Amino acid sequence: MNPPVEIQQREAMRQKLNGMPLVFMNAFDTADLARGIVYSADGKRMKANFASDRAELMFYGQPNTNRPTASNNKLMYQIRLNLRYVNANPAAKLELLEEADGSRNYLKGGTRDQWFSNLKPYYKLAYRGLWPGVDLIFYEGEHGFKYDVLLHPGADIQQVQFEYEGADGLFIDQQGGLEIHTSLQTIRESIPLSYQRVDGKQQEISCCYRIIDAAAKRFGYALMDSYNPSLPLTIDPMLLYSKVIGAMNGYFNYVRSVAIDSEGYAYGSGYTSGSDFPVTPGAYQTTFGGVYDAFVFKMTPKGDNLVYATYLGGTRDDYNSSIAIDQDGNAYVTGSTYSLDFPITPGAISNPSTGGVRIYLSKLNASGSELIYSAVFGGSGSNGVSDIAVDSEGNAYLTGDTSSADFPTTTGALRTVINAAGADSYVSKINASGSDFLYSTYLGGSSYNSANGIAVNSLGHAYVGGETASNNFPVTAGAFSTTYSGNYDGFIAQLNPEGSALLYATYLGGNQSDTISDIAIDDLGNAYVTGYTTSTNFPTTSSAFLTTSPASTNSFVTKLNKTGSELVYSTYLGGASFDAGYGIAVDKSHAAYITGATSSTDFPTTPGAVQSKRVGSQNVFFTIVSLTGTDLIYSTYYGGSSSDTGESISVNALGQALIGGYSSSTNFPSNLKNGIRPQKGFILKFGTPGPTGPTGPTGSTGGDGTNGFYRSDRCNGTNGIASAKPASREHYG
């Protein structure tokens, strides 16, 4: 027999809504309000109502019984469960978090009193103080409906207890998950991961699911390790999403640079050879122009939609190097162009060179629909740009290298005459309207110089990192290293706001070749750099994570103090084969986030790594180095069976990290199910989607183990206990 017509109609509507994200709203149904319901949620294959003492959950799933279904096999039944909070605070504060775009309208009947319009949706719902020192956060995870239990310092995990009213039974499976059995389907709560930072070291805190009363379907937790209740729990990063970006029809695509804003929106730029790049309606340029075109995109915080995606270029080759964003969501992108018709806006800098390649700087509005300005400049030689930074006033800082003796410089700048036989670095500061240089200067010695990264502080000081073969690079007295070591040395330089003087400049390197790929700064003025070295005596500090080189080419991470006079820490980072750091960022706690590429099978990873082993010939790495540089907070591989490279990284105040790069792996783990052909760009977002607690970051962790998240081998389902980490759980059928 078929399910009742009402269920069929309900499921037909459910299928239409299946692509919509889970959102939370104020309760509006009269009957729900009468039962004490305060908020409700609707999402993919589930609905929920929330009262002070419970969450009413309705899941839609294929039954696991022999009950017949309709011939199309698409109809689903409802699973109804009440998740009751045992001995909880009835006066706990409920609040909606993270407002979503748009509004929701519900027409429930034929009369206006049953119509509800303009309901504001939110992505999260929080119970504050549900138990003393404990918050409960509901939201949508990677696999569906999810909730986190957040323990603040002093909270007792034993007080956290739940009952599943309406379940047939609770069981612990062999993998350590909590199974909720019903007559129609089994729902599983997966295992999270958490740890504490004790004396600067990572200490995992393992606990177990505990079935307290099987008849009442009541469960809680039992600690397996010692736990310091005066310290907060730190939640390990999880992979929030992995997205392939680019044209699909056999074209080449590269994501060269990324940025992430305070709300978690992802911005990226790169270049493509494809005419079917997924541009969005209303974007600035929706038509492919040349052999290669630059592209710019903005993605929603959950990675489920493009806010905009646009080409940027003319009728010849246009490449992108870097992107930066301002507080209004405007995107600043820079790169190189061969197109004589590259877009230039009225009043912007227009210094067309007689050479073959010029530099462009384009500012795109927050909707991606138009250029606020677009400038093109260069000299008669070769001109390249590597990186961009933007200050609070909207001034843009560019760096790169040039062989042009007529590269535009400004009066009073540090150096206005080219000094190199091969290439000189430059630093250019362009005003907020894109109409003029505030300063522009060469930077380097008499041999090859290349600047690869730039950052700017709140005072307008530009920090530049790169490589040089010059034994007379303009280092300053008292700098960390004033002696050239040979081959190529890294360099770090800080310029004053006028670009007229160096506040410091230092070499950084050893007896072979050393390249600084990227630079970041913290709020105290310390500079952080990453790159790669073949030097066996690259300068490291005594207590650093890795003080000797394990391979012929290794990445490194170095923190230089604010005066450029000494190393705060410096460490190698890698394994026994090729490793290179290409991007670095710093969070508000001064932890350094690094991405790059590794061919090492023994690259250091941490418990909780998304991918603990190298899969292909070369994989992306993502590593977080502690404040002191003595250990790794988090480190993971990421990639497929061929070659994958992380090019750029950005981190926001929530501790969410965005990585951009490119891959030739046909099985690169991402949203793309039919492989990558032949080279696609990608973005990865790691982080903690939960809100920031009063004592430190808290939020979602782990997954169900299918993506390589940490799963304790102490979870075996014996004695009604399964090892877990307090305290995040995820539902999926």
Compare 242 and 449 and report the one with higher pLDDT: 449
Compare 138 and 496 and report the one with higher pLDDT: 496
CA 375 → CA 22, 332, 571, distances in Å? Answer: 42, 11, 40
Residue 353: per-residue pLDDT: 58
- 295 touches 364 (CB < 8 A): no
Residue 704: per-residue pLDDT: 27
179/172 Cα distance (integer angstroms):
6
Residues 6+ apart with CB under 8 A from 445: 419, 420, 468, 470, 471, 472, 473, 474
Interval 367-391 mean pLDDT = 96
Compare 351 and 105 and report the one with higher pLDDT: 351
φ, ψ for residue 178 (rounded to 5)?
Answer: -100, 120
Q: Which of 349-363, 400-414, 631-645 has the lowest mean pLDDT?
A: 349-363
In the predicted structure, residue 222 carries a pLDDT above the cut 90:
no
In the predicted structure, residue 204 carries a pLDDT above the cut 60:
yes
Interval 96-106 mean pLDDT = 74
For 28-47, letters b (16+ CB in 10 Å) and e give: beeebeeeebebbbbbebbb
- pLDDT tens per residue across span 439-493: 999 999 999 999 999 999 999 999 999 999 999 999 999 999 999 998 999 999 9
Q: Which bin fits 143, alpha (ψ -120 to 50), beta or left (φ > 0)?
A: alpha
- In one letter, which amino acid is 581? G
404/402 Cα distance (integer angstroms):
5
Q: Where are the beta strands (DSSP E) in 261-302?
A: 266-272, 293-299
Angle, CA of 311, 321 and 392, to the nearest 5° = 95
- pLDDT tens per residue across span 332-355: 999 999 999 999 999 999 976 566
- pLDDT tens per residue across span 63-88: 444 433 333 344 445 788 999 999 99
User: Considering only CA atoms, which of 178, 176, 161, 174 is closest in space to residue 213?
Assistant: 161
Residue 108: per-residue pLDDT: 59
Q: Report residue 398 CA to chain centroid gap.
A: 24
Interval 716-730 mean pLDDT = 35
CA 9 → CA 103, 365, 468, 728, distances in Å? Answer: 24, 44, 70, 34
Residue 65: per-residue pLDDT: 41
Residue 678: per-residue pLDDT: 60
- Average pLDDT of the chain to the nearest whole number: 83
In the predicted structure, residue 413 carries a pLDDT above the cut 60:
yes
User: Considering only CA atoms, which of 687, 452, 508 is closest in space to residue 593?
Assistant: 687
Compare 145 and 95 and report the one with higher pLDDT: 95
User: Considering only CA atoms, which of 162, 200, 130 is closest in space to residue 57?
Assistant: 162
Compare 112 and 229 and report the one with higher pLDDT: 229
- 32 touches 126 (CB < 8 A): no
φ, ψ for residue 205 (rounded to 5)?
Answer: -115, 105
Interval 256-272 mean pLDDT = 96
Residue 171: per-residue pLDDT: 80
Interval 483-508 mean pLDDT = 97
Dihedral, 340, 345, 349, 350 alpha carbons, nearest 10: 30
129/662 Cα distance (integer angstroms):
44
Residues 6+ apart with CB under 8 A from 73: none
For 339-375, letters b (16+ CB in 10 Å) and e give: beebbbbeebbeeebebebbbbbbbbebebeebbbbb
pLDDT band at residue 128 using 50, 70 and 90 as cut-offs: very high
pLDDT band at residue 181 using 50, 70 and 90 as cut-offs: confident
Judge if the upstream peptide bond of residue 727 is cis by omega within 30 degrees of 0: yes
CA 415 → CA 405, 471, 616, distances in Å? Answer: 12, 17, 46
Interval 91-102 mean pLDDT = 87
pTM, entire model: 0.71
Q: Which of 129-143, 289-303, 394-408, 589-603 has the lowest mean pLDDT?
A: 129-143
Q: What CATH architecture applies to the domain 241-697?
A: 7 Propeller (2.130)
- In one letter, which amino acid is 364? L
φ, ψ for residue 153 (rounded to 5)?
Answer: -50, 135
Residue 233: per-residue pLDDT: 53
What are the residue boundaries of the structural domains of the chain, listed by start? Answer: 5-237+709-732, 241-697
- pLDDT tens per residue across span 625-676: 999 999 998 899 999 889 999 999 999 988 899 999 999 988 887 755 444 4
Residue 74: per-residue pLDDT: 41
- In one letter, which amino acid is 240? L
288/321 Cα distance (integer angstroms):
19
Q: Which of 54-58, 326-330, 611-615 has the lowest mean pLDDT?
A: 611-615
612 burial class (0-12, 13-18, 19+ CB within 10 angstroms)? middle
- 2 touches 70 (CB < 8 A): yes
Residue 519: per-residue pLDDT: 99
279/418 Cα distance (integer angstroms):
41
φ, ψ for residue 480 (rounded to 5)?
Answer: -55, -50
Which pair of structure tokens corresponds to residue 215?
A: 């008849």
Residue 153: per-residue pLDDT: 84
- 727 touches 149 (CB < 8 A): yes
Interval 38-50 mean pLDDT = 84
Q: Which bin fits 731, alpha (ψ -120 to 50), beta or left (φ > 0)?
A: beta
In the predicted structure, residue 508 carries a pLDDT above the cut 80:
yes
What does the chain come to in residues? 733
Compare 208 and 544 and report the one with higher pLDDT: 544
pLDDT band at residue 679 using 50, 70 and 90 as cut-offs: confident
Report the share of the chain in percent with pLDDT over 70.
Answer: 77
Interval 385-397 mean pLDDT = 98
Angle, CA of 539, 545 and 547, to the nearest 5° = 35
Query: At 8, which helix (H) or strand (E)?
Result: helix 5-17
531 burial class (0-12, 13-18, 19+ CB within 10 angstroms)? buried
Interval 190-209 mean pLDDT = 62
